[in-house]
Amino acid sequence: MKFLKLYIVLFLTITFSACDVINPEEDIPAYIELLPFEYTAGFDGSNSANITEAWIIVGGEFLGAFDLPKTIPILNSGEVDVIIDAGIKDNAFDPTPSIYPFYERYRETVNLVPGETISIQPRTRYDMDVTQVVFQENFDDGTINFTDVAKTVEDVKEGGGSGLIELNKDALPLLIVSSLPLEEFPTIGSTGYVEIDYKNDVPILIGVVGHDINGLEVYADFPYGLNPSTEWKKAYFNFTNMLNNLEQSNARVYQIRILSQIPLENGEFIMENAEIRLDNIKLLTF
């Protein structure tokens, strides 16, 4: 009987010890609520931005990229440093978010308490210590740095005006719009982006074309497109590879170029007229 009692005691001790190993007590996380970025107007006075994700580092540990807004469980406690980078959709439709290199990082020190939630409102603006403005057009003054684009004060994105392209199936079903020639080439390997606000009845393509010293076209690439939109939207296009290819193609000048056409269906144009509205076009590098 003594041996039986001893066996039962040992069995219960081992069993409950094993349960503790299999189901250890879990730490209670703290929570960070990431609110959408607050964007401050930059060098051009524009409030246009489309920050969709946040890349977050807490206590020196990278936790990932998150759609905004988002509440994240954190196992740290006490005072920790939080670093947040502004994320965008590369090339308008890329499902993989990218850190936008021209926006400043947001930093804050917070006190994390297990079981409690702390809200963070990240803020950003252009980091002018690294950002070089190669080209910009906001259509606010009398000078327009694009061919075949008129200024309109109706249905503008912001400011004193926006650019307007008008297509007509009989007179002008296809249009090629170019910036004025640019001579400032970024250093090979530099990062370059084009930003553009748009509202369009028909699809558009965007890219670059380069000409040599004799005016001959030596490079052209139009890898990006925008679907029609009935409301104003903002897109960021990564021009890094194109700018590097331009530099290596013996081009001496280059232009940002936009192509558009009223679509055809069964050999017929699908609409009589179409409009494309543009604003806040920028080429930024560093």
**pTM for this structure?**
0.88
Q: Tens digits of per-residue pLDDT, 228-277?
A: 999 999 999 999 999 999 988 989 999 999 999 999 999 999 999 999 99
Which residues have a Cβ under 8 Å from the Cβ of 221 and sit 6 or more positions away?
207, 208, 242, 245
pLDDT for the residue numbered 22: 52
Q: Tens digits of per-residue pLDDT, 81-132?
A: 999 999 999 988 777 789 999 999 999 999 999 999 999 999 999 999 999 9
Q: What is the mean pLDDT of residues 206-223?
A: 96
In CATH terms, the fold of domain 132-285 is Jelly Rolls (2.60.120)
Percentage of the chain exceeding pLDDT 70: 91
Burial 84-108 (b: 16+ CB within 10 A, else e): bbbbbbbbbeeeebbbbbbbbebee
Where in the chain is CATH 2.60.40? 30-124
Q: Tens digits of per-residue pLDDT, 44-92?
A: 899 999 999 999 999 999 999 999 999 999 999 999 999 999 999 998 8
Asked if the peptide bond before residue 69 counts as cis, ω within 30 degrees of 0, the response is yes
Where in the chain is CATH 2.60.120.260? 132-285
Let me know if domain 30-124 sits in CATH 3.40.50.
no
pLDDT for the residue numbered 92: 80
